[in-house]
Amino acid sequence: MIWRIAYSLALYAALPLVVLKLWWRGRREPGYRRHLRERFGVYKSVSERPVIWLHAVSVGEARGAEPLVRALQTEFADHAVLVTCMTAAGRATVKQVYGESVLRAWLPYDFPAAVQRFLEHYRPRLGLLMETEIWPNLLAACRDYAVPLVLANARLSERSAHGYARWGGLSRPAFAGLAAVCAQGEADAVRLAALGASGVVVAGNLKFDLVPDAARAAEGIAWRRALGRPVLLLASTREGEERLLLEALRGPVGETLVLVVPRHPQRFDEVARLLRAETQALGRRSRGETPGARDRLYLGDTLGEMAFYFAAADVAVIGGSFAPLGGQNLIEGCAAGTPVVLGPSMYNFADATRLALESGAALQCADAREAVRAALALCADRPRRERMAQAGKRLCAAHRGATERHLEVCRRVLRAPARD
């Protein structure tokens, strides 16, 4: 308890900085300046039906949760599904993916009074936290209000596990407060149990259950065919990576078009400026522009179109993996049948990376220069690309089923008597 009191006092002390950061980020992303009262547990949206609540912190979690959200809507049709986020891009993604079929809100900051107001307003029958969202006051309040919490699609790297262990006085009661944990893999399950979580099962990765948007995929295939030359996708790149990859691409690339899709929308204009320094002409997807016959670079600056981008590419280099960031989602590329090339840092997708490498659906390289060489070689090697494409599709088909395993845990938790 003393650890949580100290934690709460630190949060209150940081409150002016929190508000200032929100306002500052709102300069580039206006969504951060909207619905500010929700950040502190004050809400307008209401539901006349009982609520099942799922928290998806940002874009990746919001998209990854789609199979589970759809299954919950079918299984518990008499309930409303509330999806909370923390980032503006995440909230925009929830609206784009789910429309008006779910309630949308900010998850409040982890102040005791704010999380209490949140729970009193929505009174959820069940809460699901995507991946690794452990908030001590929120978990304590859920226990007090008899709201069972499931950690869904849970992953925990060795690095993160060590971090939580150092703050065991705060983290162990939080993990112990979970009603159940659906871990992505065996290693995740072992680490989570060691931190105090109970009811841990290996349920697999929900992202294997995602089906690429057929219309956008067909559009991407048609776009590539019309282009008539190889397309190398730099997918979900993070800050600093574009420069590394572009430097590696300064040698001969033949007719290959390099399609750059940054991970975060607030960086679209920044990356556009960087690309313009490398080329005389730069087309942008958001403007409906088509690459010219001699264009080397093209910017994918739209949200919710990764199915298009992967289908449009012959080979994809996965961002977030060339800086120590843990990588971005390679499963989307495998599902689309696009060979993927990875950098060295993929700890956030450790199991999926291992499976993709073992199956022959992916290559992993030591740095950006090696990754670019491997990707360009693949662009010129159609038989190998086809083998990798089929391996990726087989991999995704073989590992589907996480949604049903998650759903079974939800059923069991809802049937269980409330814990004291």
Within this chain, do residues 45 and 118 fall inside the same structural domain, yes or no?
A: yes
Which are the contacts of 390, defined by CB distance < 8 A and separation ≥ 6? 337
Range of the domain at 271: 214-398
Does residue 269 belong to any structural domain of this protein? yes
d(CA 346, CA 350): 6
Q: Are residues 275 and 306 in the same domain?
A: yes
Place of tokens 């944990």: 181
> Are 199 and 270 members of one domain?
no
Q: Which residues contact 313 (CB under 8 A, 6 or more apart)?
A: 220, 224, 231, 232, 233, 235, 259, 338
Closest CA to 56 of 157, 193, 153: 153
* Residue 24 CA, distance from chain mean position: 24
> Same structural domain for residues 285 and 335?
yes
Residues 238 and 376 in one domain: yes
Closest CA to 207 of 413, 402, 74: 402
Sheet-wide strand order for 103-106: 103-106, 80-85, 51-55, 126-130, 149-154, 180-183, 200-202
Q: Is 123 left (phi over 0), alpha (psi -120 to 50) or beta?
A: left
The model's pTM is 0.90
Shared-domain flag, residues 183 and 135: yes
What domain count does the chain have?
Answer: 2
**Do 9 and 139 belong together in one domain?**
yes
CA 355/CA 348 separation, integer angstroms: 14
Query: Residue written as tokens 């690095």?
Result: 159
Residues 292 and 372 in one domain: yes
What single letter denotes the amino acid at residue 209? D
- Residue 406 to residue 68: CA distance in whole angstroms: 8
Query: What is the Rg, in whole angstroms, of the alpha carbon atoms belonging to the chain?
Result: 22
How many other CB atoms are there within 10 angstroms of residue 251's CB atom? 10
CATH code where residue 115 lies: 3.40.50.11720
Length of the chain: 420
What whole-number distance in Å separates Cα of residue 245 and Cα of residue 226? 26
Give the pLDDT confidence score for residue 309 in this predicted structure. 98
Assess whether 114 and 176 both reside in one domain: yes
- Residue 209 forms part of a structural domain: no
pLDDT digits (tens, 9 = 90+) for 249-269: 987 778 999 999 999 998 999
Q: What pLDDT shows up at residue 252?
A: 77
- Same domain membership, residue 409 and residue 390: no
pLDDT of residue 415: 86
| Nearest of 172, 191, 168, 192 to residue 180 by alpha carbon | 192
Q: Are residues 388 and 408 in the same domain?
A: no
Establish whether 239 is a catalytic residue. Answer: no
Q: In the chain, which residues have pLDDT < 70?
A: 418-420
Lookup: tokens for 334: 């495998």
Q: What is the pLDDT of residue 418?
A: 64
Residue 107 DSSP class = P
Specify the pLDDT at position 420.
Answer: 55
CATH code of 238's domain? 3.40.50.2000
Flag whether 252 is in a domain: yes
Q: Are residues 299 and 181 in the same domain?
A: no
Query: In Å, how far are 125, 301, 309, 347 from 97, measured between CA atoms?
Result: 23, 18, 17, 27
pLDDT recorded at residue 304: 87
Domain annotation covers residue 158: yes
Residue 234 placed within a domain: yes
Q: Which helix (H) or strand (E) holds 373?
A: helix 368-379
> For residues 306 and 290, what is the distance between their CA atoms, to the nearest angstrom?
17
Coil vs helix vs strand at 130: strand
What pLDDT, on the 0 to 100 scale, is given for residue 46?
A: 87
Residue found by looking up tokens 């929120």 in the block? 138
196 located within any domain: yes
- Within a domain: residue 256? yes
Does residue 287 sit within a domain? yes
29, 38, 48, 61: the catalytic one is 61
